[in-house]
Structure 1
Amino acid sequence: MAAKDRREELIAAAFRVMVRDGVTKATTRAIVNEAKMPLGVFHYCFKSREELLQEVLARFTDRSTEAARKAFQEGGDLSTRISKSLGAFWDGVELFPGEHQVSYELTHYALRQAGFEELARQQYQSYLEAHQGLLAEAAKNEGIRWTVPVQVLARYLNAVLDGLTLCWLVDRNSEDSREVLRLTGEHLLTFVGKKE
């Protein structure tokens, strides 16, 4: 098996271990056992456990934002595109709750482990960049401007989605959660201004 394929399998194995057993139990040994590989292969593919966790977070972030990005690009008026994008993100939350729970665990783990703090910063920076990208694309394609700075709107969206996801992981109240998404989309539209 090529090194690239081994890396991919180790990343997938790390996801499985963390979803099933939690982040603290995802030791290097547990991950290679899950992947059915010898321990030496891990050190051949990754410099450290931190590097593997960075890859896990990057894959999670890409996966959780890609569906929203695609839905946003499907067309329709701005209200429809925002609604579709938020809905696509939310479908991912409900389909893969374990992965979203792992993302919170990884954030808290990284903040508490000396030398791992940068993982949490990178994770949230990537979320903010994804939101900023969609907001900038919306402004360009729709010929509008946002009346609030894009970086502030991105942080607002991230805070709402983050909090809503965590709340849903606790109570699994999909109906009320989707209503919050609808309200969020409507609220976002109140920050639309005409291009000058």
Structure 2
Amino acid sequence: MPRISAAQRRSDFIKAAVEVIATYGIEGATTRRIAEQAQANLAMLHYCYDSKEDLFADVYEFVAGRYRDALEGDDSPGDVRETARRLLRGVMECYLESASFTAATVELISWARRQHGDRGIAVYDKALETVRAALRDAESDHPIAPEVIDEIAFVLATLADGFAANWLTYGDRTAALGQMEIATSVLDSWLAARLGATPVGR
């Protein structure tokens, strides 16, 4: 049987921690439960990580990376409206892909705010800056003011967070797919009113 590298084990523990945090919350995410979820012994977890805080730091980076991948996953050219639409759908699809990831993300951000203050804000800050950068780089016949870029990023975050809350609360995939269309439609209408253009897809 091939030996599993420490790097692979760390990856296994990170994914296991996401599942355990989603099920038991931060307080219930013991190293024993995480090791069991990863189908590894506790000694291996302690070999890979000096403390649970160190593991959670890597889980935190994993969450930030998933946001980054969702926001940067499709770099096809488009105008601001098309780009905003793509960003919103990317994040909602990321949430829909895994309820465990969504639940763990909410838990981790709340925990980081309690334990580390600004660190809990960092996930949002990084995600919002990625959104702003994508919007600034979008094709446009006329420059868009920075404050409008900020408004669009705020609306995207609000719609995505609302979608996440409903998905976590009800767990109904069919309903969630319909809510994705509603959220996208709301974005289209708001952009049309704010930018004075015909909504995307109309």
TM-score by length of 1: 0.77
Query: Which residue pairs with 2:113 in the alignment?
Result: 111
Matches within 5 A, 1:66-81: 66-71=69-74, 73-81=75-83
SS of alignment partner, residue 40 of structure 2: coil
* Shift, 1:189, TM fit: 5.4
Query: Which residue pairs with 1:158 in the alignment?
Result: 157
Query: Which residue pairs with 1:137 in the alignment?
Result: 137
Query: Which residue pairs with 1:50 in the alignment?
Result: 53
Cα distance in structure 2, aligned partners of 1:16 and 1:167: 19
* Shift, 1:26, TM fit: 1.1
Matched, 1:146 2:149: no
SS of alignment partner, residue 73 of structure 2: helix
CA separation of 1:127 and 1:85: change in aligned 2, threshold 3 A: closer
Residue 82 of structure 1, aligned match among 81, 84, 89: 84
Aligned length: 188
Matched, 1:126 2:126: yes
CA separation of 1:77 and 1:118: change in aligned 2, threshold 3 A: closer
Contact in 2 for aligned 1:164/1:177 (Cα 8 Å): yes
CA separation of 1:69 and 1:95: change in aligned 2, threshold 3 A: same
Query: Which residue pairs with 1:9 in the alignment?
Result: 12
Contact in 2 for aligned 1:67/1:89 (Cα 8 Å): yes
TM-score by length of 2: 0.75
Select between 32-41 and 123-132 the one with higher mean Cα deviation: 32-41
Identical aligned residues as a percent: 23
Contact in 2 for aligned 1:50/1:116 (Cα 8 Å): no
Aligned residues: CA RMSD: 2.8
Cα distance in structure 2, aligned partners of 1:188 and 1:82: 9
Contact in 2 for aligned 1:131/1:158 (Cα 8 Å): no
Q: Which amino acid aligns with 1:44?
A: Y
Gaps of 5+ in 2: 197-202
CA separation of 1:176 and 1:10: change in aligned 2, threshold 3 A: closer
SS of alignment partner, residue 90 of structure 1: helix
Gaps of 5+ in 1: none
Query: Which residue pairs with 1:60 in the alignment?
Result: 63
Consecutive aligned runs of 4 or more in structure 1 exceeding 6 Å deviation: none
